[in-house]
Amino acid sequence: TPTAHAAMRGLAFTAIPPVAATVDDFVVPSGFQWAPIIRWGDPILAGAPEFDINNQTPEAQSLQFGYNNDYLDIIELQGGGGRHGLLVTNHEYTNPGIMFPPAANEAERLQQLRITMAAHGLAVVELARDKRGRPWSYLRSSDYNRRITASTPFRLTGPAAGQDMMKTQDDPEGTSVLGTFGNCAGGTTPWGTILSGEENFNNYFRSSGATAGQKRYGLSSSPSTYGWEAIEPRFDAVANPGYVNEPNRFGYIVEIDPLDPSATPVKHTAMGRMKHEGANVTVAGDGRVVAYMGDDERFDYLYKFVSHKTFRTGNSVKARAHNKTILESGDLYVARFSGNSPAAEITGTGALPTDGAFDGSGQWIPLTLNGASAVPGFTVEEVLVHTRLAADAVGATKMDRPEDVQPHPTTGKVYVACTNNTQRGTFGKAGVDEVNPRTVNRDGHVIEITEAQNDATATSFGWLILLVCGDPAVSGSAYFAGFPVDQVSPISCPDNLAFDKAGNLWISTDGQPGTIGYNDGLFRVGLDGANRGRVDQFLAVPREAETCGPVIRDDEGMVYVAVQHPGEDGSFASPHSYFPDYTTMSGGALVAAPRPSVVQVWQV
């Protein structure tokens, strides 16, 4: 059982025990308190009504906080003395079955679809508090507050912008797209903008599914998961041939400037099209910007983008304007890993090979170089729109669902969360290799990459597996960098990553209830010395929720998470969660639904 952390740097806490998956509670260590900052439906723009679960409209939702918050950052405003900040979050997707009562008629069904469109996208919300280390409140009417939805105009940048593959009947220039959705994780750039990954965009379209490109992204002629083709023809590329390219305009890294509510958000085609989990950037020694990115699908790839332009320091208008163009051009690479142990020693059970480590070397294989295709048989726009096909062609390594990929702010080492892959080594699927060493990888693993000469622009690297996740009480393959397995918190399905000021890694999880039987949570991982591999659980989210967007401010004694899809297996009539208010009544109205929320945790 984990105990007090005298030897750990950073936040002082005693790990919580794992929380059973039936518990509808948000759990923090003793000495800490939690409260939501903002919840689904809270009003943020002028004219927004109070949230009323029994009287929702698309107009109200577009002025209120969206659904299923995922990526999160809390950015302190310059000169605010720590008392003013901006909350930025993604609203990845919706759970209509718990948001609405069953539609009584077709008009009501279409109205609910329009509400879900307005509940997607991103939000920017100004925050205020008394002083650092104290809880925030959100400001209901701030000029910074903003909603971006599935209908907000975006500008395409980079080599694929304006190409034929991007043109539709509404946008013959191929440069302007309405909306963003499926926005999963993300990253905050050194110049203060937010990057967000368009992940499962295929679920929003009906497409012929006939071409290699459509198939590779899971686009099919079945009705879409979200059903928006019933309200906008662009979501049905089969019935409406003028929109055959509409799905090509989703699956990008988007960039928004939270300090400029009037700025048109952009989608960067130079960073490739995939089911982008997110993007995290670092500035290399020569000033070029490097972004690490995962394509979250079983057997998909790990990518790196190296900009052509260099980062300019300072907050001048000119420097910021320049920095906001950095991600428009650069070289795109995909990772190929090699193990250093004999293949016969990678048995699929997770047993370590005789050299005592899953480790080896790797190459970043170019897909584009200097604005041109580096893949024979592909034009540059084909590489950037059908990036998965290009990566297939160069023999990239098929990974166990790479989610967050994040460079450590001081050591430069890059951490990759491979969340799980229950198809690894099954019939007809790729078998194990040293970097994906478990057959039917239920619990996932975390890889540590060291770039050659610790240069983020390098084309080769070394790697090792830091954590082979699982519950050591029942899994013999769980491995925590050699740390005693009877002294760690069980962990499964690593998804989002963060670092604290003390240099520790933090991991939030997505899927533990279905694997090790515990609610998802947030965990701290030591990276150095005797504490390397030590995993301590800091919090647990309520029933059927996923822990997203961790932000760790250990210097202030504060931690923030986005609680996504609480109670998602319930129904409107029979909720599985009452998070975060834990009441079924509010102001006399029935509030029979859980509300995805951003939560702050502070030391008391």
Residue 143 interface partner, choices ligand FEO, Ca ion, none, CB cut-off 5-8 Å depending on type: none
For residue 180, how far is the Cα from the chain centroid? Answer: 14
Q: What is the dihedral of CA 530, 533, 534, 540, to 10 degrees?
A: 160
Among the listed residues 296, 328, 448, 471, the single contact to ligand FEO using CB under 6 A? 296
Among the listed residues 126, 236, 255, 403, the single contact to ligand FEO using CB under 6 A? 403
- The residue among 471 and 495 lying less far from ligand FEO, judged by its C-beta, is 495
Among the listed residues 175, 176, 340, 487, the single contact to Ca ion using CB under 5 A? 340
Backbone angles phi, psi at 388, to 5 degrees: -60, -40
CB of 275 to ligand FEO, least distance (A): 7
Among the listed residues 236, 328, 331, 359, the single contact to Ca ion using CB under 5 A? 359
Q: Could you tell me if 418 and 447 are in contact, meaning their C-beta atoms sit under 8 angstroms apart?
A: yes
- The residue among 11 and 417 lying less far from ligand FEO, judged by its C-beta, is 417
Render 56-83 in DSSP notation, one character per residue: --HHHHTTB--SSEEEEEEEEPTTSTTS
Q: Could you tell me if 60 and 44 are in contact, meaning their C-beta atoms sit under 8 angstroms apart?
A: no
Which residues ranging from 32 to 71 are in contact with ligand FEO (CB under 6 A)? none
- The residue among 329 and 512 lying less far from ligand FEO, judged by its C-beta, is 512
Region of residue 178 (phi > 0: left; psi between -120 and 50: alpha; otherwise: beta): beta
- The residue among 199 and 328 lying less far from ligand FEO, judged by its C-beta, is 199
CB of 514 to Ca ion, least distance (A): 12
Q: What is the dihedral of CA 512, 537, 278, 228, to 10 degrees?
A: 40
- Per-residue x/- mask for ligand FEO, residues 77 to 106, rule CB under 6 A? ---------------x--------------
Residue 170 interface partner, choices Ca ion, ligand FEO, none, CB cut-off 5-8 Å depending on type: none
In 3D space, the residue among 469, 475, 490, 476 whose CA is nearest the CA of residue 403 turns out to be 469
CB of 233 to Ca ion, least distance (A): 30
**Tokens coding 32:** 């800490």
**Tokens coding 574:** 């029979």
By residue count, the chain amounts to 604
Strand pairing of 414-418 and 445-451?
A: antiparallel
CB of 245 to ligand FEO, least distance (A): 24
DSSP-derived secondary structure letter, 246? G
- Per-residue x/- mask for ligand FEO, residues 567 to 596, rule CB under 6 A? ------------------------------
Q: Could you tell me if 125 and 145 are in contact, meaning their C-beta atoms sit under 8 angstroms apart?
A: yes
Site size toward ligand FEO, by CB under 6 A: 7
* 236 touches ligand FEO by CB under 6 A: no
Among the listed residues 24, 126, 199, 443, the single contact to ligand FEO using CB under 6 A? 199
* 510 touches Ca ion by CB under 5 A: yes
- The residue among 56 and 597 lying less far from ligand FEO, judged by its C-beta, is 597
DSSP-derived secondary structure letter, 46? T
**Tokens coding 180:** 């963003």
- The residue among 93 and 243 lying less far from Ca ion, judged by its C-beta, is 93
Residue whose entry in the numeric block shows the structure tokens 């009705």: 223
Residue 199 interface partner, choices Ca ion, ligand FEO, none, CB cut-off 5-8 Å depending on type: ligand FEO
- The residue among 92 and 520 lying less far from ligand FEO, judged by its C-beta, is 92
CB of 199 to ligand FEO, least distance (A): 5
* 257 touches Ca ion by CB under 5 A: no
Contacts of residue 310, Cβ cutoff 8 Å, sequence gap at least 6: 286, 287, 288, 289, 326
**Tokens coding 77:** 């405003």
In 3D space, the residue among 398, 394, 393 whose CA is nearest the CA of residue 301 turns out to be 398
Among the listed residues 124, 184, 266, 446, the single contact to ligand FEO using CB under 6 A? 184
In 3D space, the residue among 561, 89, 580, 111 whose CA is nearest the CA of residue 593 turns out to be 580
Question: Applying CB under 6 A, which residues contact ligand FEO?
Answer: 92, 184, 199, 277, 296, 403, 495
Question: Applying CB under 5 A, which residues contact Ca ion?
Answer: 184, 340-341, 353, 355, 357, 359, 495, 510
